[in-house]
Amino acid sequence: MAFQPGRRLEVLMLSWPADYSDAWTLSQSAARNGVGLHSGAQCRVRLGPAERDGFWVGRLQHPQQGLQRLEPALVTETRLCTALTLDSGPLATVEHLLAALAGCGITQAEIWVEGDEIPLLDGSALNWVEAIAEAGLAPLGARPPVALLTAPLTVQQGISFATALPAQRLSVAAAVEYPQAAIGRQVFSLELTPQRFVEEIAPARTFGFRDQVDQLRAAGLIQGGALDNALVCDGDRWLNPPLRFADEPVRHKLLDLLGDLALAGLPVAQVFAYRGSHGLHTALATALSVSNGPSASPAP
């Protein structure tokens, strides 16, 4: 069952692109503030239209430094989030914002930030989807040609793996397995469209484990984590129910996967991640951007 957001968002959701075949940017700008998950500091983001393909980051306080295009090679840390090292400095926790932009069908946008982290907001991509809806989408015609895979591409880390198979459309699947009974084994797959992303994936929130929370806090991490921006699992129960979906954790894994893949642009492929992590997802994004070279055939 799809998560039912507030009426305001339902009204705004009426005109998402039908699929990912066209290029889109934002019509105008939209901004959000909030705390960063790891630093606990206030951060601000202003999204706006971009003239070139891709996602471009600039610093609100140093606009003269210009913009830098995001790509998987900028990833320098994937332990708890996807963190980049840009020419202008570090930028952590980019995955939910990038998932929202790419998932909604945006292929190019400017992301102006104040602070070294993208705000966590409610732990899902829903607030970013609202910001995108508020800004509106502007059509740019057909999406620039995307190289299609000619053979399966797999990356593996321990028992985890992610694979991209040749396909004519984007479909995504994830499977997770946790010893904690509240999560256990979950699988979720769908042929992705912007509408399905907004309804089925964007509302799924970050989750963590009670026994790790104290350790991470002591290590100076997750200073901005709270029971209102992350689901916390305690063995066979959740500390802060209700869940938005019975299988919210695996849907959040898909959200993270999409955000990490968006560093290279969403592929036209069938993608599956088994026990995914930011390290695994960004390795697949790197492999996809490398395969986007002369050996792959252009889309018709």
Q: Give the binding site for Zn ion (CB under 5 A).
A: 206, 256
Helix, strand or coil for residue 271? strand
By beta-carbon proximity to Zn ion, the closer residue of 87 and 228 is 228
Task: Tell me if 197 sits within 8 A of 106, measured CB to CB.
Answer: no
Token pair belonging to 186? 């979950």
Q: How far is the CB of 15 from Zn ion (least distance, A)?
A: 27
Q: How far is the CB of 99 from Zn ion (least distance, A)?
A: 8
Q: Provide the β-strand partners of residue 86.
A: 89
**Calpha distance 269→296 (Å, rounded):** 13
Catalytic option among 96, 252, 278, 281: 278
Q: How many Cβ atoms from other residues are within 10 Å of residue 2's Cβ?
A: 12
> Of all residues in this chain, which one has the CB nearest to Zn ion in the complex?
256
| Peptide bond connecting 119 to the previous residue in cis, omega within 30 degrees of 0 | no
By beta-carbon proximity to Zn ion, the closer residue of 19 and 210 is 210
Q: How far is the CB of 252 from Zn ion (least distance, A)?
A: 6
By beta-carbon proximity to Zn ion, the closer residue of 115 and 276 is 276
Token pair belonging to 289? 């951007």
By beta-carbon proximity to Zn ion, the closer residue of 49 and 72 is 72
By beta-carbon proximity to Zn ion, the closer residue of 107 and 206 is 206
DSSP-assigned letter for residue 145: P
Q: How far is the CB of 132 from Zn ion (least distance, A)?
A: 17
Q: How far is the CB of 259 from Zn ion (least distance, A)?
A: 7
In three-state form (DSSP H/G/I as H, E/B as E, the rest C), the secondary structure along 10-70 is HHHHHHCCCCCCEEEEECCCEEEEEECCCCCCEEEEEEECCCCCEEEEEECCCHHHCCEEC
Q: Has 278 been annotated as catalytic?
A: yes
**Calpha distance 19→143 (Å, rounded):** 11
Measured in whole angstroms, how far is the alpha carbon of residue 263 from the centre of its chain? 9
Catalytic residues: 278
